[in-house]
Structure 1
């Protein structure tokens, strides 16, 4: 560490998102000079892992499975924890202002912002009053618990209920299936999903497969639609039709927090996101870094979407760059993955996923998603343990021996009814995924191998 740092050099982490929690989990008090102040500011003590939220809402997880206590994490790593809401970032003076007028503004020398986002369109009249927004994650579980008692108690089991979800991204689709699983046994439940476009950022064959899954579950899908107004018992669509609801879920994507978009002097995009270089460093204030939903990359032609997948991958880069910044060393660039493994829970012990243009669906996909998510949480819940199910060394050794022919047999084409729906991946054993994960890992590390596997799959599809 640079010994020339001035006395009382203050590092502030703003927000307990997927990226900042990694910084605290990795960098402890003894990694810094004694005179460095290390502070986390958050408006809540619980950090929820977004990848497990749908499973939690479907009652497949309990809260402790997907929550990190920020106060405990800070205590174990030697960071100070300030539980407060922020209403302004005054970057020119390096000050953070709080909503509580009794709290003095916090001075920083280096700021790492990872505050997430709010739900897009939540300012539309009626949304905050009559709908449940999917952001912030910290309040979602408690809101749904209230609805459990209000609409889905045992005394109301004979009552019909209308559940409407607005939003066609991964969150809206997973919410529709998760809440159907949560409430379907408690009443006669009708579920409607309203979208402009289903999974707009995913491959067409994935949205086609998801459309079929939704149909098989009896979930009504209204496409090419948007909401014009929200009322107490119904919403109005852009075609003047009305959709009644008992419960309305608002899952319409990400929007910048107003304390950044309206009350900050940082360089911002037109949508209010903090503009950063690929190093995650603010383009206007070099002592400020930002990661996750709250930032954008003006130098990238295709910046990453607002997804926890990217925030998780930014964690190691932000950690290294914090140390590099303090030591006046060159910063590392973050290179977002162009084709990430996408896994959507379907609420019934199965999941739908995609990578390399191949669609995955079945119980083994859910088992793989569950293993990946639990492995991530174990890095916080038991920081000294190693994953006992499948370690990286065993995966690596298996990958070396895989051939494209072997991979093609592992990644089998679906049955006759699926041949016109695009490539499908099935496991020989419905609850196992280790061989499939090995194939996907090797395809990720070797573009040539990936091309060979896809070629084999295409040939198998044509000959079937």
Structure 2
């Protein structure tokens, strides 16, 4: 049987499910390879818990090499810099090239900082996660040895920014470290996509924990002294964490793939590129043109099964199936301690039991990928 080459670019939430399913039910004649620069990929739902000290590294990271070996796939430890659409080949940062018949992209996104002068030099984005975790270890050590409070600014007040500020503060206090936190957003409210009850609850939590909140404060530039806000006001900061909106990688558009206006790979209802039928995309890097949804790990997880099915069908030359995303997603947002708030549509509820519920969901998800799978569900 002639071998078909399936190349997966990025170790995101959708791709780990693709690998798991191809391992449980191998596709005859298909050679599967995954390209990702990091051997361990983090599960975004548990990252705040790791920062807060509730989890260990292995609890919330998937070993891509081990997952691939169990599935009979190959893990290639580098990053893709472009695709040759004529030759169907991916070029990588280490100089290697990898040919394919079908390719899928699930590399995620990074915070938007390119338009802010000084942002890259003065501060650290939350993604890539491995780089942030290295910085976080250094920051914790600095807070433990500080004789005065470190001034830490978190830029971005969506769920990611709010959770991160609370988680960092929780861990530094547990370390007996010294730090003061400021949460900064250019919007008029935190958690803008969530219901009023959720926003009010977290506003109260931030106030109770002594985290300063700056609303309607777009960052104009970053300097060694802090952040320059609108009207030239300076927010002093020793450390800046960027948790702003999602930015797309540059190479998809540069490779000639169809993208949306922000540079994310355009996909149709089959998670397939309209411009190149042999290319698929999922997770944050994909833009569902007919049914736009927020950049969220919840949608990336849900895209895994239909993506796996369509990649299998594409290898066979069979008709594809449509993916119909849910209209809204449940968000379980932690408050640093073992307490969380549930947000779904107009509804909100909270408590320690919500955190335990979230913990059960997250740990069950991780068990699928860090141990041999037992079934195909």
Please name the residue that 1:214 is paired with. Answer: 206
Structure 1 residue 350 corresponds to structure 2 residue 327: no
SS of residue paired to 1:172: helix
Deviations 1:259-287 (A, max 9, x none): 224x2211111110111101101011111
Question: CA–CA distance in 1 between the matches of 2:231 and 2:201?
Answer: 27
Cα distance, 1:114 vs structure 2: 0.4
Question: CA–CA distance in 2 between the matches of 1:267 and 1:93?
Answer: 17
SS of residue paired to 1:16: coil
Counting helix residues as a fraction of each chain, which structure ranks higher?
1
Please name the residue that 2:64 is paired with. Answer: 70
Counting strand residues as a fraction of each chain, which structure ranks higher?
2
Please name the residue that 1:293 is paired with. Answer: 284
SS of residue paired to 2:49: helix
Q: 1:129 aligns with which of 121, 124, 132?
A: 121
User: Superposition pairs for residues 318-333 of structure 1, below 5 Å?
Assistant: 318-333=307-322
Please name the residue that 1:274 is paired with. Answer: 265
Question: CA–CA distance in 2 between the matches of 1:32 and 1:232?
Answer: 54
Question: CA–CA distance in 2 between the matches of 1:41 and 1:171?
Answer: 26
SS of residue paired to 1:93: coil
Structure 1 residue 233 corresponds to structure 2 residue 213: no
Cα distance, 1:43 vs structure 2: 1.1
Cα distance, 1:306 vs structure 2: 0.8
Please name the residue that 2:9 is paired with. Answer: 14
Contact 2:4–2:315 at 8 Å: present in 1 too? no
Unpaired runs of 5+ residues, structure 2, are none
Cα distance, 1:383 vs structure 2: 3.4
Contact 1:166–1:193 at 8 Å: present in 2 too? yes
Contact 1:92–1:265 at 8 Å: present in 2 too? no
Cα distance, 1:90 vs structure 2: 2.1
Contact 1:278–1:334 at 8 Å: present in 2 too? yes
Question: CA–CA distance in 2 between the matches of 1:119 and 1:334?
Answer: 27
Please name the residue that 1:374 is paired with. Answer: 363
Contact 1:29–1:79 at 8 Å: present in 2 too? no
User: Superposition pairs for residues 388-427 of structure 1, below 5 Å?
Assistant: none
Cα distance, 1:324 vs structure 2: 1.7
Deviates more, 1:264-273 or 1:180-189: 180-189
Q: TM-score, normalised by structure 2?
A: 0.94
Cα distance, 1:123 vs structure 2: 5.3
Please name the residue that 2:140 is paired with. Answer: 148
Please name the residue that 2:45 is paired with. Answer: 51
Please name the residue that 2:240 is paired with. Answer: 248
Question: CA–CA distance in 1 between the matches of 2:345 and 2:94?
Answer: 49
Question: CA–CA distance in 1 between the matches of 2:28 and 2:251?
Answer: 32
Question: CA–CA distance in 1 between the matches of 2:25 and 2:343?
Answer: 42
Question: CA–CA distance in 1 between the matches of 2:162 and 2:328?
Answer: 20
Contact 1:161–1:187 at 8 Å: present in 2 too? no
Please name the residue that 1:168 is paired with. Answer: 157
Cα distance, 1:214 vs structure 2: 1.1
Please name the residue that 2:54 is paired with. Answer: 60
SS of residue paired to 2:232: coil
Question: CA–CA distance in 2 between the matches of 1:212 and 1:294?
Answer: 34
Deviations 1:27-79 (A, max 9, x none): 12862224x32111111111110000000001110000011111111111100
Deviates more, 1:12-21 or 1:123-132: 123-132
Contact 1:196–1:225 at 8 Å: present in 2 too? yes
User: Which structure 1 residue ranges, 4+ long, deviate > 3 Å from structure 2?
Assistant: 383-386
Question: CA–CA distance in 1 between the matches of 2:318 and 2:79?
Answer: 33
Question: CA–CA distance in 1 between the matches of 2:138 and 2:86?
Answer: 43
Question: CA–CA distance in 1 between the matches of 2:344 and 2:193?
Answer: 13
Question: CA–CA distance in 2 between the matches of 1:296 and 1:30?
Answer: 29
Question: CA–CA distance in 2 between the matches of 1:372 and 1:385?
Answer: 18
Contact 1:20–1:315 at 8 Å: present in 2 too? yes
